[in-house]
């Protein structure tokens, strides 16, 4: 939709209004009435110009300064179309009634016959033109939205593929394999049963990662089940120095989150914080009615582990396309927290 006070739109709009005012003043001229009232062509053009300008500018204002701009095409397409149609029909009728009841007697020095054929024809033409203009701009707006949606979906697809690849790659990088094999080697000698459990949980992690490659979202319950295997592997390495506390009500387990959200957030917390007996790392996972929050005490490493930097930004981008709510990232001197929407 055009903007009411946009300089370019304003100029073009009023040039068109002037052309329409000249056309209607000539097309609907009545020589007898004009002669009797001593009305010149210039006065009629001015009258028509003001009349059309009020209709056109009022129509734009009723759209621009209404809830219309906040309605999305995904959920309120019908509402947007119906609203612009109602404005296009009733606003010209209201202006027509006011001008012919108040302004016409002043200029023409006689009462306007609202039921005259000329007046009804002019009203129908005014409504038709306004409807046509609104239809054109709504169609243009919808087309632009549709084109933008296609572009965003392609961007989401690329972003999702990148996230899946990077997430899988992060699990099989040399550091992870080295740490896992090192831990497993120690367990085989010290605790064969625990070593067997370690292998099973490691297989469970890989199985989940591979099974989620084609999914954009997954239930919170599935992601939490996967998280248990992932946490188990890391707790074997860090022992009691890594604590993960989960507080999620059963009625929220069917809610969806973006695939591998928990894995990325847990990995970030483990990767960027010191974990030792003197400085244990505690990660809290808590679900609310519409959000899932992952919070950890902040004890940043002085030398950070090399990172590709796509973790949090990738999560934010994917949630941007799949939810109306934003990802919230909060950091204080003592804690770091990320809250993602439950879909």
Count of Cβ atoms closer than 10 Å to residue 285 Cβ: 22
For residues 77 and 101, the answer to whether their CB atoms sit within 8 Å is no
Residue 258 has pLDDT above 70, yes or no: yes
Mean pLDDT of 83-112: 81
For residues 212 and 248, the answer to whether their CB atoms sit within 8 Å is no
Backbone angles phi, psi at 342, to 5 degrees: -90, 125
Task: Return the minimum-mean-pLDDT range out of 19-23, 25-29, 120-124, 125-129.
Answer: 25-29
In sequence order, the 6+-apart residues with CB closer than 8 A to the CB of 314 are: 159, 162, 163, 166, 264
Q: What percent of the chain has pLDDT over 90?
A: 22
Between 88 and 42, the higher pLDDT residue: 88
**pLDDT tens-digit profile of 4-49?**
778 888 888 889 889 988 887 787 665 455 544 556 778 778 878 8
Residue 233 has pLDDT above 60, yes or no: yes
| pLDDT for res 303 | 66
| pLDDT for res 33 | 52
| pLDDT for res 329 | 93
**pLDDT tens-digit profile of 133-145?**
888 888 888 888 8
| pLDDT for res 282 | 96
| pLDDT for res 29 | 60
d(CA 188, CA 190): 6
In eight-state DSSP terms, residue 147 is H
**pTM (2 d.p.):** 0.54
Backbone angles phi, psi at 27, to 5 degrees: -65, -35
> Which two three-digit tokens encode residue 327?
């990802």
In sequence order, the 6+-apart residues with CB closer than 8 A to the CB of 97 are: 114
- Estimate the share of the chain in helix, then strand, then coil, as percent rounded to the nearest 5: 70, 10, 20
Domains identified in the chain and CATH numbers: 7-153 (no CATH), 173-341 (3.30.565.10)
Mean pLDDT of 167-180: 59
Provide the mean pLDDT of the chain: 82
Residue 168 burial (C-beta neighbours within 10 Å; 0-12, 13-18, 19+): middle
Strands (E), the chain: 217-219, 242-247, 256-258, 281-287, 291-297, 328-331, 335-341
Angle at 12 between CA 8 and CA 17, to 5 degrees: 145
Mean pLDDT of 87-109: 81
- For the chain, the distance separating the N- and C-terminal CA atoms, rounded to the nearest angstrom, is 31
């Amino acid at each position: 939709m055009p903007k009411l006070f946009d300089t370019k739109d304003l100029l073009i709009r009023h040039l068109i209004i002037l052309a329409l005012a000249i056309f209607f003043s000539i097309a609907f001229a009545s020589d007898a009435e004009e002669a009797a009232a001593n009305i010149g062509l210039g006065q009629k053009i001015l009258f028509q110009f003001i009349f059309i300008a009020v209709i056109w500018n009022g129509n734009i204002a009723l759209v621009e300064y209404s809830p219309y701009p906040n309605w999305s095409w995904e959920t309120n397409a019908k509402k947007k179309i119906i609203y612009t149609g109602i404005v296009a029909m009733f606003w010209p009728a209201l202006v027509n009634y006011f001008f012919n009841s108040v302004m016409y007697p002043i200029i023409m020095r006689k009462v306007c016959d609202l039921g005259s054929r000329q007046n009804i024809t002019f009203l129908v033409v005014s409504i038709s033109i306004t409807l046509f203009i609104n239809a054109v701009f709504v169609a243009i707006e919808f087309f632009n939205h549709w084109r933008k949606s296609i572009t965003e979906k392609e961007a989401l697809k690329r972003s999702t593929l990148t996230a899946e690849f990077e997430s899988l790659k992060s699990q099989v990088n040399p550091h992870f394999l080295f740490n896992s094999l090192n831990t497993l080697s120690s367990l085989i000698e010290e605790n064969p049963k625990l070593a067997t459990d370690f292998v099973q949980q490691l297989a469970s992690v890989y199985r989940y990662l591979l099974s989620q490659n084609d999914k954009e979202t997954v239930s919170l319950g599935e992601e939490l089940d996967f998280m248990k295997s992932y946490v188990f592997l890391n707790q074997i390495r860090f022992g009691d120095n890594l604590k993960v506390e989960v507080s999620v009500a059963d009625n929220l387990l069917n809610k969806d989150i973006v695939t591998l959200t928990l894995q990325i957030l847990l990995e970030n917390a483990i990767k960027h914080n010191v974990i030792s007996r003197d400085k244990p790392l505690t990660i809290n996972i808590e679900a609310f009615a519409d959000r899932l929050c992952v919070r950890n005490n902040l004890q940043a490493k002085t030398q950070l582990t090399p990172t590709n930097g796509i973790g949090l930004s990738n999560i934010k981008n994917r949630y941007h396309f799949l939810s109306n709510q934003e990802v919230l990232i909060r950091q204080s001197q003592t804690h770091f927290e990320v809250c993602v929407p439950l879909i």
